[in-house]
Structures are given as structure tokens and as C-alpha cells.
Amino acid sequence: MPDKTVAIGQSMIRIDAHGKVVGETAYPGDIDMPGHLWMKIRFADRPHARIVDLDVSAAEAYPGVVAVLTAKDVPVNEYGLIMPDQPVLCGPGSAKPGADVVRFVGDQVALVIADTEESAAAARDLIHITYEDLPAVYDPYEAMADGAPQLHPDTVHNIVCHYRIRKGDAEAALAQADVVIEGTYHTSWQEHAYPPARGRPGVHRRRGPGDGGRGRAVDARGPGADRARARPAP
């Protein structure tokens, strides 16, 4: 019987390592398809504000632009992992209550679709947003304090998710330790060490016998979770 633990204790070479190191591996963002369109996202300019007016007319008129989508164009305007009801696009006109509020500078306000990447980027910068600034929080401890501005409705102290983990007897383990080091540590924000830039091509096919639906190539650690999040879309 072959040894099934031959990899244990060994330095194994990943079969995809060389292509990634020398730049030969094609990521989803590197895939070009004939006649494909490009999309750029207009992100929020505020940490916490209500969008009272959104003018996309200049972007729509820019040469090469095919469409500009805002919250009013998204029938099921919600997604998310921890909070599965975050707005896909923030702004007026959505059927989802509270979707007109941005809650961090990375919230998405509009999508610009054009025939070239340069046109999409230039048109995106022509979108004019009028905000009503709201009180913001910049520290997690301040956000959980009494009287802090509430970013999400019906969320006490801005805590959207709480996992209580208890395993074993921590006090006994600490009592037996030779050295106990306690401190507060701060790190910078970071992504999950993805080598590629985030991007994914998508294909929409007309529904018909033997054909139909949507297809996309994703750069994801969990394609099953991506599929579950995309499934509710009409």
C-alpha cells in the first residue's frame, strides 16, 4: 500500500507557482473577450452621508458609454456576507429602505459601463453627487459606546455580528503559564493576500433551448459562496 502521508514534513512545490511568479498565469481580470464592455465603479466620497441628489447625465453623454446604473436600476438591491442585506448600490430610487445612505467611503454609488476602460473611467469621474453629511464614527470602541451615531438601523451599538468563543479553562491555563504577556495590538487594514487585482469577466446569454443564464470567471477563495450570493439576482 502506498504511503498516504508522503507529503507530511516535505517542502512541496505548488504546480501553479512558476506561472504566477513569472507573470504567465492569467487571472480573471486578464481575460479579454471579443466585443466585451468595461465597467468602473463610482465609490462614495463620505464615511457617512445621505445621497440627496445623483446626477449622472454628463456620464451618460460621454462618448463610448453604454449605460450608467444606479440604485434605482437594481431590483434586488441587497447582498453581503456578515450582513446579507447591504445595498448593492447606494442612492435614491431604491425600493430598499436606507439604501440612500452611504456608511463608508467604499460604498458603491454607480456603475459606468463603456466600450473602453478609459471611457468608463473618464465618465465615472463626471458623476455629481450631492450629500447630506451624517455623524460618523472612526473608532470601533467609540462606535460601541452609548450615544454613538448608529450606522445601521436596529443595530445596537453598531454591532452587526458577535461571536462568543469559549473553549477550555483559560484562567487555569494562564495560571500554569511561565510567562503571560498582555497588550493591545494595532495592525493596518489588509486584504486576503490575493495575488491578482480584483476583477472578473461576466457573460450574459439569452435564454433559450440549451442556452441561457449567466456565466462569470471569479477570483475567489470560495466560489460556492459567490454562487449562493449571486443566485437571488433576477
For 56-114, how does the pLDDT look when each residue is reduced to its tens digit (9 = 90+)? Answer: 999 999 999 999 999 999 888 888 777 777 889 999 998 888 899 999 999 999 999 99
The pLDDT value given to residue 125:
97
Residue 216 covered by a domain: no
Residue 230 lies in a domain: no
Q: Does residue 53 sit within a domain? A: yes
Q: Is residue 48 in a domain?
A: yes
Residue 227's pLDDT is 64
* Res 164 pLDDT > 80: yes
User: Residue 229 has what pLDDT?
Assistant: 61
Per-chain mean pLDDT for the chain: 83
Q: For Cα atoms 155, 158, 163, give the angle at the middle one, nearest 5 degrees.
A: 90
Whether 212 has a pLDDT exceeding 60, the answer reads no
3-state helix, strand, coil in the chain (%, to 5): 20, 20, 60
The pLDDT value recorded for residue 20 is: 84
- CA dist., res. 65 & res. 58, Å (int): 10
Q: Under 8 Å CB-to-CB from 131, ≥6 apart: which residues?
A: 45, 46, 49, 50, 51, 52, 102
Segment 182-195 shows an average pLDDT of 77
Q: What's the CATH number where 59 sits?
A: 3.90.1170.50
Residue with cell 430598499: 96
**197, part of any domain:** no
- Taking alpha carbons only, the member of 112, 114, 69, 111 closest to residue 93 is 69
